[in-house]
Amino acid sequence: MKQLRILTGLHAGVQLRLTRRQYRIASDEDADLQISDWAHAPLILTFEEEGSDVSPALHLIADDGTPARTTAGAQGLLEDFLPRRFGDIVLCAGPDAAAWPSDMALMDALMRPVAKIKATAAVVAEAAPRAKAALGLKLSALVAAAGLIAGLASVLSTQTAASTAPPVSPMEQTLQALRQAGVEGLTVRRVDRRLVVEGLLPGSAEMARARAALQPFGEGQLLHRYASASDIVRQIGDALNRPGVRVVHRGQGVFVVEGQAADPAELQDEVRRIAGDIGPLVRRIDVAVEQTLPTARVRVGSMLAGDDGLQYVQTADGTKHLSLRTPVDDGAAVAGDPSSSSPTGEP
């Protein structure tokens, strides 16, 4: 199995175990190996079937299928422990289980061919006078040394900048996860050793997105103290259980009871009790209802034809009652009166 190391750039020091047969290296989000400061054209890293099964050769090819070229012009074959430079990024491959040289030793191996090329160019100049050739050779050596020092300084400064970059805090990671999920309206604060995520979300869909975004952090790191405003609206309405009123959420934890009620003062007391039971996510519950006159008892017996004693009564809750009262007959017999036992009044 192969291992790929990034020796320079923002990701210097990263070690990647190559478990697949092909990887696309680029800076875009579709890349298999996304290197954010990769300025070279996208490359395809692929295994070669030839060679050892334990450590097969690696090839770098361009998107059009042609062999990739490094900054120095070399073909894109990644040999073991031989770094290759692509712009400002230096890559190196090798067996995963082998003992690797240090990053400085690998960078030194990259710089050595540059010094040899410059020395060869100085030797070609021997056609000039001997003194001029000697001077040119010295200048070439100085240029090569200066280039090596500048290259090492660049590598060291890049690695130092990457190592000294402050890590992203857990709070910023949590906020970034919520932003990427499109969840708004939640705040994050630290309480002791854990982060508290709290606030009101519009409905169940936003609740599900928030849960999914925060799931990787685990319950040991986060406290979930957020709720759905639509669920709270339903809870307040169920607790009131009054016809003619409705509950709406005005935002920022403010709820309003609207509609009509015969006793607004009693409704206000009931709302105050419910607000104390719900919790801190509800800032307040306002009451904005119109008072209605109570329905009176209506007696319409006088409106009916005849004196048969029929009565119609409607109570305050809207229930209708019909009753029939039989009038007393003045000519009816009275119990215990001896005169009523006979039509003639005789015994």
Which strand (E) or helix (H) includes residue 151? helix 130-164
How is 88-108 classified by DSSP, letter by letter?
A: TEEEEEEETTSPPPPHHHHHH
pLDDT for the residue 316: 57
Number of structural domains found in the chain: 5
DSSP state for residue 3 in the 8-state scheme: E
Q: When comparing pLDDT for 333 and 278, which is higher?
A: 278
Tell me whether strands 33-34 and 22-26 are parallel, antiparallel or unpaired: parallel
pLDDT for the residue 128: 42
DSSP state for residue 340 in the 8-state scheme: G
Same domain flag for 30 and 82: yes
Average pLDDT of the segment spanning 95-121: 71
User: Degrees (nearest 5) of the Cα angle 143, 156, 79?
Assistant: 80
Same domain flag for 223 and 238: no
Does 134 have pLDDT greater than 80? no
Same domain flag for 9 and 93: yes
pLDDT for the residue 333: 47
CATH of the domain at 196: 3.30.70.1770
Percent of the chain residues topping a pLDDT of 70 = 62
pLDDT for the residue 121: 39
Q: When comparing pLDDT for 132 and 190, which is higher?
A: 190
| Among 238, 251, 259, CA closest to 282 | 251
Same domain flag for 46 and 131: no
Domain endpoint, select from 291, 310, 341: 291
Which strand (E) or helix (H) includes residue 33? strand 33-34
28 belongs to a structural domain: yes
Pair of tokens at residue 279: 């919790």
How is 101-150 classified by DSSP, letter by letter?
A: PPHHHHHHHHHHHHHHHHHHHHHHGGGS-HHHHHHHHHHHHHHHHHHHHH
345 belongs to a structural domain: no
Same domain flag for 239 and 278: yes
Chain-centroid distance, C-alpha 134: 67
Average pLDDT of the segment spanning 152-170: 63
CATH of the domain at 83: 2.60.200.20
Domain endpoint, select from 195, 211, 227: 227
Q: How far apart are CA 316 and CA 314, in angstroms?
A: 7
pLDDT for the residue 83: 86
305 belongs to a structural domain: yes
Give me the residue label for tokens 């990024």: 89
Q: How many Cα atoms sit within 13 Å of 238 on the Cβ side? A: 7
337 belongs to a structural domain: no
pLDDT digits (tens, 9 = 90+) for 41-93: 888 888 765 444 444 567 777 766 666 666 555 556 778 888 888 888 888 88
336 belongs to a structural domain: no
Q: How far apart are CA 177 and CA 320, in angstroms?
A: 60
Q: When comparing pLDDT for 168 and 286, which is higher?
A: 286
Q: When comparing pLDDT for 337 and 235, which is higher?
A: 235
235: containing domain: 230-291
342 belongs to a structural domain: no
Which residues sit opposite 62 in a β-bridge?
43
88 belongs to a structural domain: yes
Same domain flag for 62 and 148: no
346 belongs to a structural domain: no
Reduce the DSSP state of residue 278 to 3 states and report it: helix
pLDDT digits (tens, 9 = 90+) for 276-328: 888 888 999 999 999 887 655 444 443 444 456 666 666 655 666 666 666 65
Domain endpoint, select from 227, 249, 268: 227
CATH of the domain at 272: 3.30.1340
Mean pLDDT of the chain: 75
How is 207-267 classified by DSSP, letter by letter?
A: HHHHHHHHGGG-TTTEEEEEEEHHHHHHHHHHHH--TTEEEEEEETTEEEEEEEES-HHHH
